[in-house]
């Protein structure tokens, strides 16, 4: 009797532990990536609300009603399964002398509502069992359901290892691995989260490539991947939008030490005092002084694969290497007021360049002023020559293809001539577009400002305009700009109308299309434009900031978004 009572208590405690612990806590150690949900019912409701709005805009009342009914049923099933908690992990499975293959393991909690749905999908036939957890093989997967859990895996051994841990077996677990726990704990609990183990992927790649005598060309790629370490990120929805957290644990023992220094660099930011207050968005980063030189080394490695000769003609790698001597600490990519409207207009593919500028902190102004004229001239000459190189490559490839079709009898002489003429016109358009691109620059208050449009540069240099640092909405974001790894800020954009999107969608319709064709296309695009404009206009801006502590780079973001009507 005493032995029976002891066994009963042991089984009860094991089951209670399995039910209360996070599902990911029982995963085997060594996951390459995971995707997890926790208490995500609120997020499912909000995204379902958006989908409902889209359906009402796009479909007819009869079609929408049917789809909404199906959506409501599926929404309840999802809320009572992955909305409670779920985890999907990818693992590398294989023996030392075999090829390692990625294998999938997924688990979700279920309740009474969703339990019957999943049970009906699992084939009832004899299978195997680990502790209290049975499973069967079905459609190439191993699936099972027990004790308010549904689980599946593409590999039998992987599933058995997980079920053994659920049953109380003492074995290495994912949550006890620092590679997983450090970044995931830094992000905190989120409705939806993910984890990448870049170092684990690098180890796997190095093992696999060693069997084929790892070429020296690939060694830097694997070393960089290993140095990336681990990355975790997640978000949770709120009544006013969503919040996001991320944590990047760079590998201090990785062989790519310049990359490690770049990833963990931080700076005191002052660029906000130059950026116009009307800017639509800003992405600012702490740029290590050696960052451009590091990029140059990668460009040198791929120079031989450049089909246009652009890297050689522009001497870009050489100029980037030199720029590391006079640039550093702050980089900011800015979209000026009007940038989004230009992108939506779509009448001119290069119009967005009129609203895009880059700011870079200058550490040696004399060296920068001496180097930039040659750099700009070299780059602009290469850009000017690019249409010719691109045209020759496209003409050769397309001419061979068209000639082959003509010789095979698949194209008449008239059609061949029309296609050739169309190709020539396309090349003229590309030549006209790229011919307008030109790097322009200026120095102001210790920063190098660059753009590919004189209009953008002039807007960035304008005096007597309010600056972002003084804008009330930017100050309200309360960003920490000291000793920071970077920050982002975007204000609520101007409202987009469905008419603007309709104009964008129909811009490339053939000029000779019949009125009937135009009416049919309008009937298709109009509801899509209405739904898209509604989704876009719900967005109300965002802010984000990043900090560095030793090898851990953490970021916090806040996005304003209107979920309801």
463-512 pLDDT tens trace:
999 999 999 999 999 999 999 999 999 999 999 999 999 888 887 666 66
pLDDT bin (cut points 50, 70, 90) of residue 547 is very high
- The model's pTM is 0.87
**484 or 8, which is more confident?**
484
pLDDT over threshold 90, residue 412: no
Span 393-407, average pLDDT: 54
pLDDT over threshold 70, residue 13: no
Q: What is the SS3 assignment for 265? A: coil
Span 292-317, average pLDDT: 80
CB-based contacts of 14, cutoff 8 Å, min separation 6: 167, 168
Task: Give 443's Cβ-side CA count (13 Å radius).
Answer: 16
**Residue 243's closest CA among 197, 198, 191?**
191
pLDDT of res. 410: 52
Identify the weakest region by mean pLDDT among 37-46, 395-404, 533-542. Answer: 395-404
Between CA 195 and CA 247 the distance in angstroms is 10
Sequential DSSP letters for 1-46: -HHHHHHHHHHHHHHHHHHHS-GGGGSBS--SEEEEEES-HHHHHH
Counting residues of the chain whose pLDDT is more than 70, the rounded percentage is 83
**41 or 389, which is more confident?**
41
pLDDT of res. 222: 93
**Residue 506 phi, psi dihedral angles, 5° rounding:** -95, 5
Span 208-215, average pLDDT: 72
Dihedral sign (CA 455, 275, 466, 541):
positive
CB-based contacts of 139, cutoff 8 Å, min separation 6: none
pLDDT over threshold 50, residue 11: no
* Residue 98: exposure state from Cβ atoms within 10 A (0-12, 13-18, ≥19): exposed
For the chain, give the mean pLDDT: 86
Counting residues of the chain whose pLDDT is more than 90, the rounded percentage is 62
Cα separation values, 392 from 106, 307, 387, 418, Å:
51, 11, 8, 19
pLDDT of res. 555: 97
CB-based contacts of 513, cutoff 8 Å, min separation 6: 521
DSSP-assigned letter for residue 363? S
pLDDT of res. 165: 94
pLDDT over threshold 70, residue 213: no
**Residue 287 phi, psi dihedral angles, 5° rounding:** -95, 115
Between CA 435 and CA 265 the distance in angstroms is 37
pLDDT bin (cut points 50, 70, 90) of residue 219 is confident
Count the neighbouring beta carbons within 10 Å of the beta carbon of residue 56.
Answer: 18
pLDDT of res. 180: 96
Give the chain's largest Cα–Cα span: 96
pLDDT of res. 385: 81
pLDDT over threshold 70, residue 10: no
pLDDT bin (cut points 50, 70, 90) of residue 396 is low
pLDDT over threshold 50, residue 560: yes
* H/E run at residue 550: none
CB-based contacts of 381, cutoff 8 Å, min separation 6: 313, 314
pLDDT of res. 514: 72
pLDDT of res. 432: 64
What residue has token string 């060694």? 219
pLDDT over threshold 70, residue 87: yes
Between CA 329 and CA 501 the distance in angstroms is 39
pLDDT of res. 136: 97
What residue has token string 């069992």? 129
């Amino acid at each position: 009797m005493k032995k029976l009572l002891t066994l009963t208590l042991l089984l009860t405690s094991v089951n209670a532990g399995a039910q209360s612990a996070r599902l990911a806590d029982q995963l085997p150690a060594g996951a390459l990536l995971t995707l997890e949900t926790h208490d995500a019912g609120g997020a499912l409701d909000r995204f379902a609300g958006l989908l409902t709005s889209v359906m009402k805009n796009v479909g007819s009342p009869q079609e929408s009603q049917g789809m909404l009914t199906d959506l409501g049923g599926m929404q309840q099933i999802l809320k009572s399964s992955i909305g409670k908690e779920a985890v999907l992990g990818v693992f590398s499975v294989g023996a030392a002398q075999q090829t390692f293959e990625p294998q999938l393991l997924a688990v979700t909690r279920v309740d009474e509502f969703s339990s019957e749905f999943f049970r009906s999908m699992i084939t009832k036939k004899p299978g195997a069992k680990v502790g209290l957890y049975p499973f069967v093989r079905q459609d190439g997967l191993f699936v099972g359901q027990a004790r308010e859990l549904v689980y599946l895996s593409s590999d039998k051994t992987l599933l058995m290892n997980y079920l053994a841990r659920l049953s109380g077996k003492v074995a290495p677990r994912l949550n006890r691995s620092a590679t997983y726990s450090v970044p995931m704990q830094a992000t905190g609990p989120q409705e939806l989260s993910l984890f990448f183990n870049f170092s684990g992927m690098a180890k796997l790649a190095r093992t696999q490539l060693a069997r084929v005598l790892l070429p020296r060309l690939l060694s830097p790629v694997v070393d960089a991947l290993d140095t990336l370490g681990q990355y975790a990120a997640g978000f949770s929805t709120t009544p006013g939008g969503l919040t996001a957290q991320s944590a990047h644990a760079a590998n201090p023992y990785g062989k790519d030490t310049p990359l490690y220094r770049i990833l963990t660099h931080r700076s005191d930011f002052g660029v906000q005092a130059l950026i116009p207050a009307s800017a639509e968005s800003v992405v600012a980063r702490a740029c290590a002084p050696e960052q451009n030189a590091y990029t140059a080394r990668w460009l040198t490695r791929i120079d031989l694969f450049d089909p246009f000769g652009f890297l050689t003609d522009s001497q870009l790698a050489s100029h980037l290497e030199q720029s590391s001597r006079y640039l550093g600490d702050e980089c900011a990519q800015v979209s000026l007021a009007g940038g989004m409207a230009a992108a939506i207009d779509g009448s001119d593919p290069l119009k967005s360049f009129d609203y895009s500028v880059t700011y870079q902190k200058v550490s040696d102004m004399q060296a920068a002023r001496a180097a930039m004229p040659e750099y700009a001239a070299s780059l602009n000459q290469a850009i000017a020559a690019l249409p010719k190189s691109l045209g020759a490559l496209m003409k050769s490839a397309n001419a061979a293809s068209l000639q082959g079709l003509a010789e095979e009898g698949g194209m008449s002489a008239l059609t061949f001539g029309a296609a050739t003429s169309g190709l020539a016109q396309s090349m003229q358009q590309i030549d006209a577009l790229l011919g307008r691109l030109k790097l322009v620059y200026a120095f102001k208050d210790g920063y190098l400002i660059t753009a590919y449009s004189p209009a953008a540069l002039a807007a960035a240099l304008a005096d007597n305009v309010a600056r972002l640092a003084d804008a009330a909405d930017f100050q309200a974001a309360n960003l920490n700009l000291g000793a920071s790894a970077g920050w982002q800020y975007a204000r609520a954009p101007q409202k987009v109308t469905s008419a603007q999107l309709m104009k964008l969608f129909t811009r490339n319709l053939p000029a000779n299309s019949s009125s009937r064709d135009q009416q049919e296309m309008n009937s298709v695009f109009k509801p899509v434009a209405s739904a898209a404009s509604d989704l876009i206009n719900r967005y109300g801006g965002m802010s984000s900031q990043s900090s560095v502590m030793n090898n851990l780079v953490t970021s916090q973001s806040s996005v304003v978004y209107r979920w309801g009507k």
